[in-house]
Structure formats: C-alpha cells, structure tokens
C-alpha cells in the first residue's frame, strides 16, 4: 500500500476506535485467519460480582467472607475485587493478610488471623471437595459462574460464586468474524464448564480452558505450526505473552498496561465489533493494491 493509503487507513481505524502501532500491523491484520479470544475482560465485561456464598457445615458465613476478603484485598484480580467489594458491604471490617502470595491463573494465599488461607481454583486445595460442595460447584459452573474455593489450615471452608456478564455485542462480533471466514477460539484460565457456558452464549464452538499463561502461548504456537495466521485478543497480565507470540495482538484499551504494550492494535472501545472492523479495514486497504 502507498504511504497515503496507510495514513488514510490509520485515520479510519482511529475513528473506529482502533489504534494501530506501526504500518506492519495492518499487513498482519489482513492475513489473519484465526481469532483467539480471551474470556474474562475480553468476551465478558470482567466487572465481576459476588453471586453466592456457601460455607461448609460448621463454618460461619461471615467468617468465610471476611477471611476470603482479607486475602483478596491484596490481589489485583477481577475476582478479588468482586469478593472484597461484597465483604466490605456486608461486614464492619476486614482482617489484614500477612505473607500474601499471588498464584497467577490459580488464586492466592496468605495468613489471616493466624490461619493459613488458600483461595482460588479447587485444584489448589489440599483435599477433594466434600460431596455436597462438589455438587454445588458443578451446578454453579454449568450456569457460567466462576467458583472460588476457600480453605484454611488444610481444610475446605466453603465456596464462593462469582458472576461476570458477556458483553452486549460479543455474539454479533463472533458472527461477523465467521462471515469474514475467520475461525474463533475461546481461551481462558477459567474452568471448562464456565468457559463452555460463555462460548455457547456467544456462538463459539472451539474452547480451550483451564490454561495457565504459558498454556496460552503454547496454543498460539500450536496453531501457527498448523499454518494458521493467529490473532489474539486479550486484556490481562496473563494474556501478554500470548499477545506477543501471536501474528497479531489486540489489547482491550481497558486492559492492563502489560497487555497494551504487548499488542499491535489497541481497541479503545469495550466493543468486540472493533475486531471484525479492523480486519475488514485492513483487507480493504491492502487487498486491492497487491
Ligand atoms: P482468565 O484467563 O479467564 O482471564 P486467569 O488466568 O486470570 O483467568 O485465572 C484463571 C482462574 O484462576 C480463575 O478463573 C480463578 O478460578 C482462578 N483465580 C485466579 N486468580 C484468583 C484470585 N485472586 N482469587 C480467586 N481465584 C483466582
Ligand atoms: Mg482476561
């Protein structure tokens, strides 16, 4: 494309809420055939709310919420924010956490009121969930909730359910991607049942769930080895390595600085329709010239 055509395209993109970093990004955008979408904060709003609290028999509900809130107060995760907000609304005060450790893609741990607390995916727990809680977990997950387990001193204390909402235009954006001949894939560190519930809601049938940040990179590498030209759309710290590995990285403008730095395109609006917009624009700008 001529410099003038590129300049015009960059201006058009900006009006569509798409910031392009460098001229070569437009070339990769045109060639993309596979779009890997992160779930939390990309397909969903990422503004999570606490939907349910279920203490194990013998555990006090307020104690469960206060202890979980104390650990999560030190975390930057969207799940943590939901739990802390609810805990502050319901309770007079939260305890302080000591020796806090974030476990990316899994959860967090720390010491609260002398107890060793672990919070996050059930895979972090020292023991399997008791049957009653396991049943509840499956029920919540099949409804698209993210289930957070809480354990202290090596025994399960209860479950929390966190709810997120799919962005209003996410399904329309996926339909547009298909019309453009692209293959959409949903990628998440969240559990498989929750991921499938969200995928179904937006019309994606290919789901890769329960992956750690490095697993996101490996998926991109695998697709590229199969000859696919891969775009990744993400927002989190956990998406940054995959954004950098992809042929084209697209970061949500609302996302973390590391994700924005790793990306080639920045989507200023929350709206995922900017993804098919960008691809259509790149095809139009470069398609006729070469
Ligand atoms: P995603 O890929 O959907 O953006 P992450 O990779 O950040 O999600 O996290 C994957 C999963 O790890 C979450 O769905 C949650 O179950 C668990 N998790 C991560 N951080 C926390 C936390 N601070 N508190 C509770 N659970 C967490
Ligand atoms: Mg995310």
ipTM: 0.94
* Residues with a CB atom less than 6 Å from ligand 1: 38-40, 72, 75, 77, 79-80, 105-108, 119-121, 146, 148, 188-190, 236, 238
Are 176 and 141 contained in the same domain?
no
Q: What is the pLDDT of residues 124-138, one digit of tens each?
A: 999 999 999 999 999
C-alpha 90 – ligand 1 centre gap (Å): 23
From 210, 168, 185, 213, select the one nearest 32 (Cα to Cα). 185
Q: Give the residues across from 19 on adjacent strands.
A: 266
* pLDDT above 70: residue 288: no
Q: What is the pLDDT of residues 80-121, one digit of tens each?
A: 999 999 999 999 889 999 999 999 889 999 999 999 999 999
C-alpha 7 – ligand 2 centre gap (Å): 31
Asked if residues 60 and 177 have their Cβ atoms less than 8 Å apart, the reply is no
The predicted model gives 44-59 an average pLDDT of: 96
| Crossing angle (nearest 10°) for helices 3-15 and 274-287 | 160
Query: How high does pLDDT run on average in the chain?
Result: 94
Residue nearest atom 25 of ligand 1, based on CA coordinates:
120
Are 177 and 247 contained in the same domain?
yes
Task: Please report, for the chain, how many H helices and E strands are present, in that order.
Answer: 11, 13
Residue nearest atom 24 of ligand 1, based on CA coordinates:
107
Are 38 and 63 contained in the same domain?
no
Tell me 25's DSSP state. Answer: H
The predicted model gives 52-63 an average pLDDT of: 97
Are 229 and 279 contained in the same domain?
yes
Are 153 and 190 contained in the same domain?
no
Are 179 and 281 contained in the same domain?
yes
C-alpha 94 – ligand 1 centre gap (Å): 22
Q: Looking at 116, 132, 163, which one is the last position of a domain? A: 163
**Structure-derived torsion over alpha carbons of residues 71, 217, 143, 137, reported in degrees to the nearest 10:** -50
For position 187, what pLDDT does the model report? Answer: 97
How many angstroms separate the CA atoms of 85 and 210, rounded? 26
Asked if residues 72 and 220 have their Cβ atoms less than 8 Å apart, the reply is no
Q: Looking at 109, 131, 163, which one is the last position of a domain? A: 163
pLDDT over 90 percentage in the chain = 86
CATH number of the domain within which 57 lies: 3.40.1110.10
Three-state secondary structure string covering 128-165: CCCHHHHHHHHHHHHCCCEEEEEEECCEEEEEEEEECC
Ligand nearest to the CA of 104: 1
Are 140 and 232 contained in the same domain?
no
Give the structural domain span for 241: 3-45+166-287
CATH number of the domain within which 186 lies: 3.40.50.1000
Are 221 and 159 contained in the same domain?
no
| Number of domains the chain is built from | 2
* pLDDT above 80: residue 141: yes
| pLDDT band, residue 24 (cuts 50/70/90) | confident
Give the strand order in the sheet containing 183-187.
18-20, 265-267, 248-252, 230-234, 34-38, 183-187, 207-208
Are 237 and 135 contained in the same domain?
no
Are 157 and 173 contained in the same domain?
no
Tell me 95's DSSP state. Answer: P
Are 79 and 121 contained in the same domain?
yes
**φ/ψ (deg, to 5) at 5:** -60, -40
Are 92 and 139 contained in the same domain?
yes
Q: Looking at 163, 191, 217, which one is the last position of a domain? A: 163
Residue nearest atom 16 of ligand 1, based on CA coordinates:
121
Asked if residues 251 and 263 have their Cβ atoms less than 8 Å apart, the reply is yes
């Amino acid at each position: 494309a001529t410099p003038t055509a590129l300049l015009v395209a960059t201006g058009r993109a900006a009006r569509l809420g798409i910031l392009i970093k460098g001229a070569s990004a437009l070339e990769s955008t045109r060639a993309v055939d596979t779009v890997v979408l992160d779930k939390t904060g990309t397909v969903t709003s990422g503004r999570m709310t606490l939907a349910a609290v279920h203490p194990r028999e013998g555990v006090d509900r307020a104690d469960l919420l206060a202890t979980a809130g104390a650990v999560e107060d030190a975390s930057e995760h969207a799940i943590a924010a939901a739990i802390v907000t609810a805990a502050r609304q319901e309770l007079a005060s939260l305890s302080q956490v000591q020796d806090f450790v974030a476990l990316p893609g899994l959860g967090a741990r720390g010491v609260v009121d002398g107890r060793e607390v672990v919070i996050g995916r059930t895979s972090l727990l020292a023991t399997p969930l008791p049957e009653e809680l396991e049943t509840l977990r499956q029920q919540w997950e099949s409804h698209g909730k993210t289930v957070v387990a809480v354990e202290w001193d090596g025994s399960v204390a209860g479950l929390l359910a966190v709810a997120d909402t799919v962005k209003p235009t996410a399904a329309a954006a996926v339909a547009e991607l298909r019309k453009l001949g692209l293959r959409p894939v949903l990628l998440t560190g969240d559990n498989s049942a929750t991921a499938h519930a969200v995928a179904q809601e937006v019309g994606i049938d290919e789901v890769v769930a329960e992956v750690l940040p490095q697993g996101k990179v490996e998926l991109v590498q695998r697709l590229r080895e199969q000859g696919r030209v891969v775009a990744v759309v993400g927002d989190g710290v956990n998406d940054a390595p995959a954004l950098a590995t992809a042929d084209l990285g697209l970061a949500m403008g609302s996302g973390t600085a590391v994700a924005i730095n790793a990306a080639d395109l920045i989507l200023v609006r929350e709206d995922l329709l900017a993804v098919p917009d960008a691809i259509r624009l790149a095809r139009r700008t470069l398609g006729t010239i070469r």
